[in-house]
Structure 1
């Protein structure tokens, strides 16, 4: 998968600008960066949920945003995905189906034979400690269980490309360990390509073949985690190395618009200095007081 010169403008803010990233086939790439850096936006570009304003997203050499509906449906069958963010993962589950049905329905849509669906679905639920709630609806589950269900749906497809956004957010240590084990089991089982976003340094170091750092709308570092994170022991170290040391600053809207071949939504207006009437009255009173004091001093002198 290759992302080339990706530029994205949202609400007159340049979120991504000239971003370039190549996801090596058959390996785990972890994407890190501060909150609001654009990680989930980038994931939406890959999943066909949000079209970038400039650049290309290639999967298997095919530009997904230039694909026909039929070509995209075929591409989508090769993708397993879980969205993160503020409970976005709930959109990855069907509230009208039980936990088990969420997985078996997915397998049925992929054409998996009926006799294989139940065992395959239960295997993934077992990995993520959900086997005992297989007959419940998602609404009856706590948030961390719903997130694990969304992850199970992404993993059960055994897709050649799996994209997992904010994989560990909202999970405690036990459930995070189960999640890591399930992801590694998928990789051993299928040899798939994985793109994972996280804020967790320990997770990135333990699971990634390649680590990409997204700051100010661009990839500022890429390589093996032992090299990219060399000398970094804490979140503070990470921020100091990447976020606060990136003197290039956030993308400039006019430059992003030029690359996106877009015109500014609003004409540039000259800034004017507003006048506060309350401040005028305060200034007038202050002048009167100063003049009165000076007059009083003069009277005493003479």
Structure 2
């Protein structure tokens, strides 16, 4: 089995679809520009490079990249590039954003701006789509990068965003584990109470498209033997493909533990805005960058399909 098998399946699926017009925001270093050009060459995105044109050209020369056929929208600095990229979305010229060499906070500030941003009724949240070599399918972990200490109300949207992502990736059955430190409800641990509430909301149709269970500890969420030892009878326990963490710290540590101790890859995407947002890190491998673009492409196409159905 290839170490990147789960990602290779995502890439193969995304490559059967037309490339998604994507604003690449401030791609002024070698890694972010290379990621965009590679994704374009694979047919995953149709990039529009937004930022200082002289710096983009210099980065291309340094990386020995041919960007002659790629549209560049000039913007004097990173803040202006983020604002300009959001404007391209609002004008319908692009259907996805991709972070270049600017801070995530700077990009997200333009996205969530109440004046001309990309807010929807849904809370914006981040998901990692993780390729764990010992796990047979992609594992979605949310939220490890945007919502610091989400309330129960915010977790409803975090869960629904992750479920919608799983469907866009082609998961036939979405099994969501709401994680805590234990699998029983303990009033002294708020995350266990919130997990139980989220599961009841799913029972009542307030969260749709998946089967939920929680609270679950990590071991009995992803390991059938651990779930059996604890005598947890559930369609989710031991077989989860979506993990919802209590807060950003837990999510960040879980994702990085998998990356650095289990050699997992972590493709990052932000959901809940008008378009998907590809968040990559300078430390990301080429495979991870391409997988992030593939995930965003599948989400954007699912969004197109949903909008088409809504119009009919």
TM-score, normalization: structure 2? 0.29
Structure with larger Rg = 1
Instruction: Tell me the TM-score normalised to structure 1 length.
Output: 0.30
